[in-house]
């Protein structure tokens, strides 16, 4: 079988669909290269002295792991000088990161969660990097937070890298979803899955069940019906999976179907959810929709939400279309 590299794939997409401008192709390649570097650091683990906490907190008030900070730095440094970006924003930083004046300013905005699933770092379970690309607004001279506050429908590309037994890069530029596996010997990304489709029906769900006493009634009803199995209203048995790393949970759903849920709950009623709209929900929603799935916040399509803040939170229900439709309908009742 002829091996197709990420670069070749992007160049051919550019020729066929004219969907990937040269600047965007370069940007994706640089992000992919940064993910390769992060994969290397993750793979070294204790040998690279990168495990454990850094003794600091991020803007979310979460304790930072050493690898969180290292990954953030890798992505910032890799993307600063290329000339295709106007600014970046990271889940780990309070405000945006404008491109330093000594470099040319490009027309794209990059957002990322440098290392998703931090609680899994020290126990050697899959973690990942999530990224989202927007176009800078017309006539923007100095980038501000406001320029990033675009609904998910405006994304021109989204993707994630999952650092598991294999390192896999999952990418969409609005023309389906493709997966690339890192060939560690050659150091190149090789196309291993094309036009991935999420099955519309599933028997698997992912949710942190330890929070069940705090759930709102629609979520309780939906999960209870699944747990009732063959004898319940759904008439079939369901399996539960929960990796506590959104990248790993979504990657499973992309490959074999399922529904991932991180609902808002009664612990902090003033918060719309826990996951971040800009760094996690929007890029994942774009990928899931491009693979034929569905993503809502229980009420509306995630990609239609107009962001009001850089670190805005949101409830997330995504995956196999028929299940997401059902749990969303329970919220609307």
Per-residue pLDDT tens, the chain, 333 aa: give them.
789 999 999 999 988 877 789 999 999 999 999 999 999 999 998 898 888 888 777 777 777 888 999 999 999 999 999 999 999 999 999 999 999 999 999 999 999 999 999 889 889 999 999 999 999 999 888 999 999 999 999 999 999 999 999 999 999 999 999 999 999 999 999 999 999 999 999 999 999 999 999 999 999 999 999 999 999 999 999 999 999 999 999 999 999 999 999 999 999 999 999 999 999 999 999 999 999 999 999 999 999 999 999 999 999 999 999 999 999 999 998
Judge whether 150 lies within some domain. Answer: yes
| Strands (E) located in 80-125 | 85-90, 97-98, 108-116
Based on the domain organization, do 278 and 316 belong to the same domain?
yes
- 10 Å Cβ neighbour count for 153? 15
Judge whether 56 lies within some domain. Answer: yes
Based on the domain organization, do 188 and 319 belong to the same domain?
no
CATH number at residue 18: 3.30.540.10
Judge whether 75 lies within some domain. Answer: yes
Give the SS3 label for residue 333: coil
Annotated binding site: 91, 113, 115-119, 208, 274, 280
Based on the domain organization, do 257 and 294 belong to the same domain?
yes
Q: How big is the CA angle at 57 (ends 52 and 58), to the nearest 5 degrees?
A: 110
Q: Can you give the residue range of the structural domain that contains 180?
A: 6-193
| Strands (E) located in 117-238 | 127-135, 157-163, 167-172, 177-183, 188-193, 204-206
User: Which of 193, 227, 253 is the last residue in one of the domains?
Assistant: 193
Of 23, 314, 279, 307, the closest CA to residue 147 belongs to 307
- Token output for 138: 């017309």
Judge whether 247 lies within some domain. Answer: yes
Annotated binding site for Mg(2+): 91, 113, 115-116, 280
Which CA distances in Å does 77 have to 62, 100, 165, 245, 321? Answer: 23, 11, 26, 25, 38
Annotated binding site for substrate: 116-119, 208, 274
Judge whether 198 lies within some domain. Answer: no
User: Which of 193, 222, 253 is the last residue in one of the domains?
Assistant: 193
Give the SS3 label for residue 1: coil
Based on the domain organization, do 279 and 169 belong to the same domain?
no
Judge whether 19 lies within some domain. Answer: yes
- What is the pTM assigned to this prediction? 0.96
Whose structure tokens read 């059902």? 326
Instruction: Give the total number of structural domains in the chain.
Output: 2
Based on the domain organization, do 260 and 297 belong to the same domain?
yes
Judge whether 1 lies within some domain. Answer: no
Based on the domain organization, do 74 and 161 belong to the same domain?
yes
């Amino acid at each position: 079988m002829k091996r197709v590299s990420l670069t070749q794939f992007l160049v051919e997409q550019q020729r066929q669909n004219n969907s990937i401008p040269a600047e965007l192709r370069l940007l994706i390649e640089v992000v992919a290269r940064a993910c390769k570097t992060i994969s290397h650091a993750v793979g070294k683990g204790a040998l690279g002295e990168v495990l454990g906490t850094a003794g600091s907190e991020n803007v979310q008030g979460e304790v930072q792991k050493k690898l969180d900070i290292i990954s953030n730095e890798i992505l910032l440094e890799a993307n600063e000088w290329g000339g295709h970006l106007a600014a970046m924003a990271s889940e780990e930083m309070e405000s945006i990161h404008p491109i330093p004046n000594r470099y040319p300013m490009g027309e794209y905005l990059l957002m990322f969660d440098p290392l998703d699933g931090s609680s899994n770092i020290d126990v050697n379970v899959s973690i990942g990097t999530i990224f989202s690309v927007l176009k800078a607004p017309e006539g923007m001279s100095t980038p501000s937070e406001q320029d990033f506050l675009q609904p998910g429908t405006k994304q021109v590309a989204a993707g994630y890298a999952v650092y598991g037994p294999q390192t896999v890069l999952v990418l969409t530029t609005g023309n389906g979803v493709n997966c690339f596996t890192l060939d560690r010997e050659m150091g190149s990304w090789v196309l291993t899955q094309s036009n991935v489709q999420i099955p519309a029906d599933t028997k698997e769900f992912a949710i942190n069940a330890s929070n069940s006493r705090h759930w709102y009634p629609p979520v309780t009803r939906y999960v209870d019906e699944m747990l009732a199995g063959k004898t319940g209203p759904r008439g079939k048995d369901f399996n539960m999976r929960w990796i506590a790393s959104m990248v790993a949970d979504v990657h499973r759903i992309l490959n074999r179907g399922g529904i991932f849920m991180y609902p808002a709950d009664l612990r902090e009623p003033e918060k719309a959810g826990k996951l971040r709209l800009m760094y996690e929900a929007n890029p994942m929603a774009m990928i899931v929709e491009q693979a034929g799935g569905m993503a809502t916040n229980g009420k509306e399509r995630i990609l239609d939400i107009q962001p009001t803040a850089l670190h805005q939170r949101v409830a997330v229900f995504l995956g196999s279309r028929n299940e997401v439709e059902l749990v969303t309908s329970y919220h609307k009742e």
